Structure formats: structure tokens, C-alpha cells
Amino acid sequence: MQVSDDLKHEHQLILKYIELMERYIDFGQAYNNNELFGDKAEAFIHFIQNFADTFHHAKEEDVLFKHMAAPDVLTHCNPLPQMLMEHDLGRGCVQRMKDALSKDDWDSLAKSAREYGVILREHIFKEDNILFPMAEESIADANKKSVKEEYAQAEARLDGSALWKEHETKFAELEMDFENALSKEMALA
Ligand SMILES: [Fe+2]
Ligand SMILES: [Fe+2]
């Protein structure tokens, strides 16, 4: 029984948003058009807070990590405090993005967004390659069943399928807007 497949699948959407966010920032810096990302920053912040933090991190912190922290599960090393600290570092970046956006401070908005990307990309790599294999190995099958049940409760409480639909639709829209803005600049060049 697997307890990390859903979380890995969520990572893929988070990574897609981070990559697109970085393309917006690169574009703004290359063409001196910071407002393009400025206009979309709220949508990225909404995704990060609503999907990555509230939904995904809730399943990690309130379900998987909790089960991994139970006595006798992790007998050698415990990477959970580091993982929780990285979630907090990400939250700090988002707060700085919000503050920068409220002041139309494009440089600091871009800087904090890039920091978020670096932290989360590394964090996701560690989870996919180290933490999740540890979880699969160390949580007993009977407890994996409870993990699955608790995921299902979180999915129901936060309406997971509506969240997926909302954020996948929004991603396609943000990607299309980016491609359009890029072609416009290319045509002018
Ligand atoms: Fe995490
Ligand atoms: Fe994660």
C-alpha cells in the first residue's frame, strides 16, 4: 500500500506553477515589463496558499508527518523538523510576496517569488526522494490504512476535486496569457 502517491501527484502541479511563475519573472526582467508578473502575482499567491499550503501541506503536516512522528516509526533519523521548517520558510516568502505586492515593489516581489521557487523545489526533491521512501518503508500497513482514511477526510473537508479543477483551469489560463504576452513582445522586437 502506498501513502505518498497522491502527495507526489500534487507536487507535480506545484512544480508546474513554480516553473511558470519563474518564466513570468524572467520575461519581466528580460523585457523590462515587471507589471506582467505583478498583474498575475495574486493568482500565484492564491495557488500557493490555497493548494500548496492549505491543501497539500495540511495532508503532510496533519496526516503523513503525524504518523511518521509516532513512537517506533522513525528509528534512525528524523527529518520531520527540517521539513516543517522548510514549510515555514516557504510561508515567509509568500508573506513577503504579499507585502511587496501591496506596495507595488516589483523587485522585492520577484526576489521573494524566486526564493519560494528555490526552497520549494529543493523541498519537494527531498520529500520525493528521501522522506516518502522512508514513509513507505517505516509505516506499518495497518497504519497506512489510517493515513489513507485521514487523507480522504481532508479531501472531503477541503473539496479536493474542486481544488484540482480550479487550479488546473487557472494554470492553463496563466500559461496561455504568458504565451500571448511573449508573442506580442516578439512581434514588437
Ligand atoms: Fe512538504
Ligand atoms: Fe510536499
- Residue 17 and residue 90 in contact, taking contact as beta carbons nearer than 8 Å: no
37-86 per-position pLDDT tens digit: 999 999 999 999 999 999 999 999 999 999 999 988 888 889 999 999 99
Q: How far is the CA of 13 from the centre of ligand 2 (A)?
A: 11
Distance from the CA of 125 to the center of ligand 1, in angstroms? 10
Sign of CA dihedral 8, 5, 87, 49: positive
Options 1.20.120.520, 3.40.720.10, 3.40.50.1100, 3.30.70.580; CATH for 5-188 is 1.20.120.520
Inform me whether the pLDDT recorded for 189 exceeds 80.
no
| Banded pLDDT at 91 (limits 50, 70, 90) | very high
pTM for the full predicted model:
0.96
Which ligand number lies closest to the CA of residue 14? 2
Tell me which ligand sits closest to the C-alpha of residue 89. 1
The full set of domain ranges for the chain reads 5-188
3-state SS, one letter per residue, for 99-136: HHHHCCCHHHHHHHHHHHHHHHHHHHHHHHHHHHHHHH
